[in-house]
């Protein structure tokens, strides 16, 4: 039996131009029974000729149980952490294969270790040095570990599959489409010029507040050679219907403190640092082209700055052209992470948007 919530959501999507097939696929991926979907579509059709149903958002993640699509046969339970769910799946659904592979790897490792020791004649010789003065210990320890590559490879194959399905389900739960990769050249903003070798992955595309929006992972490399390392961020991007003031809010403290060193000597080209009241500049750097001081103060009013310091010290945002990007210095790994990020986006967007309506750009 369809519910008013379901009928309202379907009616809203139909008025927005979505096809019935798309609506059915989204709801089915989010755990709705086929019978309920069919009943909801029929009820929504009957309402289309009468009074319009109220605009209803899709049931939220908290209200619905995430269920995996049948890429992994037999697995049909709530998923929060893909890593933990992979182990859970292997242990519950394939215990003989899981433990059997590990057991076989242990036996093979012991056998190889025995052969290594037999080759050298004794344990002391196996751990000693050869005639050239090189240690035998590295071979003695390395060769017996080779069999364990089999369960490791099997786990990571399933883990990657679980991660992909998990991301698909998160996207479907908020009415977005999912793509495993995206075009790194499609972004706009100064933060995306930092580092080199950028990559975009796990891209959610849809509508937020009636405007085009994306959520994605952003990877890039900092430095070169042995001193290089990879950074991984989570980005929410929304495209508004008019140009925005070119403003960059850069946090000085990441979730693990790494952001302090990351941006220590970096300054976006063509921008000026803006000094704001109180101790705000202890926690954030603010950049804008010359002459934007007034616009920044209209957006970063005192109550908003206090909120950022108290609750969002590791979050930044940038306005570039007609896009607003909110970014964090880590990727979302669990369902709870995603829910927290979604709440953060709601809060910041609802604080920033009213101020933007008061700001004129030239």
Quote the domain boundaries for residue 44: 1-59
Residues near 106 by Cβ (< 8 Å), separated by ≥ 6? 147
273 occurs within a structural domain: yes
Q: Residue 135: pLDDT above 80?
A: no
* Domain final residue, candidates 11, 39, 59: 59
Name which of 51-55, 126-130, 185-189, 351-355 the model is least confident about.
51-55
Are 270 and 326 within one domain? yes
Mean pLDDT of 56-61: 44
Are 159 and 191 within one domain? no
The residue whose two tokens read 């590990």 is: 102
Q: Could you count the other beta carbons within 10 Å of the beta carbon of residue 13? A: 20
Name which of 21-35, 47-61, 110-124, 301-315 the model is least confident about.
47-61
pLDDT band at 218 (very low <50, low <70, confident <90, very high): very high
Which of the two residues, 49 and 327, has the higher pLDDT score? 327
Are 191 and 311 within one domain? yes
pLDDT band at 61 (very low <50, low <70, confident <90, very high): very low
Which of the two residues, 266 and 196, has the higher pLDDT score? 196
Helix (H) or strand (E) holding 102: helix 95-120
75 occurs within a structural domain: no
Give the pLDDT confidence score for residue 205 in this predicted structure.
92
Q: What burial letters (b/e) apply to 158-171, b meaning 16+ CB within 10 Å?
A: bbebbbebbbbbbb
Q: What percent of the chain has pLDDT over 70?
A: 74
Provide the whole-model pTM. 0.64
77 occurs within a structural domain: no
Mean pLDDT of 123-136: 56
Number of domains present in the structure of the chain: 3
Are 93 and 163 within one domain? yes
Mean pLDDT of 303-314: 85
The three-state DSSP-derived secondary structure of 189-226 is: CHHHHCCEEEEEEEEEEEEECCEEEEEEEEEEEECCHH
Are 211 and 287 within one domain? yes
284 occurs within a structural domain: yes
- Tell me the angle at which helices 20-29 and 149-173 cross, rounded to the nearest 10 degrees: 130
pLDDT digits (tens, 9 = 90+) for 145-184: 787 888 788 777 777 777 787 888 788 877 888 898 899 9
User: Alpha-carbon Rg of the chain, whole angstroms?
Assistant: 27
72 occurs within a structural domain: no
Are 234 and 347 within one domain? yes
161 occurs within a structural domain: yes
Which of the two residues, 308 and 128, has the higher pLDDT score? 308
Q: Could you count the other beta carbons within 10 Å of the beta carbon of residue 284? A: 21
Q: Of all residues in the chain, what percent are helix, strand and coil, respectively (each to 5)? A: 50, 20, 35
Mean pLDDT of 84-103: 75
């Amino acid at each position: 039996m369809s519910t008013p919530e379901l009928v309202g959501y379907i009616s809203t999507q139909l008025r927005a131009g979505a096809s019935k097939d798309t609506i059915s696929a989204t709801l089915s991926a989010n755990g709705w029974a086929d019978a309920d979907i069919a009943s909801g579509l029929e009820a929504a059709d009957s309402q289309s000729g009468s009074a319009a149903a109220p605009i209803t958002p899709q049931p939220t993640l908290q209200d619905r149980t995430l269920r995996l699509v049948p890429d992994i046969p037999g697995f049909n339970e709530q998923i929060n952490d893909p890593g933990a769910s992979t182990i859970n799946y292997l242990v519950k659904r394939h215990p003989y294969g899981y433990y059997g592979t590990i057991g076989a790897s242990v036996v093979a490792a012991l056998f190889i270790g025995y052969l290594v020791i037999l080759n050298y004649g004794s344990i002391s010789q196996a751990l000693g040095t050869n005639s050239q003065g090189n240690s035998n210990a590295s071979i003695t320890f390395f060769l017996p570990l080779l069999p364990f590559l089999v369960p490791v490879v099997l786990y990571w194959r399933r883990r990657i599959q679980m991660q992909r399905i998990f991301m698909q389900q998160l996207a479907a739960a908020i009415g977005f489409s999912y793509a495993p990769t995206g075009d790194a050249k499609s972004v706009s903003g100064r933060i995306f010029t930092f580092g080199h070798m950028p990559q975009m992955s796990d891209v959610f595309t849809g509508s937020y507040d009636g405007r085009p929006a994306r959520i994605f992972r952003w990877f890039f490399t900092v430095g070169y050679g042995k001193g290089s390392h990879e950074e991984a961020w989570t980005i929410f991007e929304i495209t508004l219907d008019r140009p925005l003031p070119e403003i960059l809010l850069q946090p000085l403290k990441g979730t693990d403190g790494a952001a302090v060193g990351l941006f220590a000597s970096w300054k976006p080209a063509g921008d000026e640092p803006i000094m704001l009241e109180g101790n705000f500049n202890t926690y954030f750097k603010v950049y804008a082209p010359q002459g934007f001081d007034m616009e920044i103060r209209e957006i970063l009013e005192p109550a908003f700055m206090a909120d950022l310091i108290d609750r969002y010290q590791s979050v930044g945002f940038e306005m570039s052209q007609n896009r607003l990007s909110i970014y964090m210095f880590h990727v979302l790994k669990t369902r709870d992470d995603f829910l927290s990020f979604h709440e953060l986006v709601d809060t910041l967007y609802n604080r920033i948007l009213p101020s933007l309506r008061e700001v004129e750009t030239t």
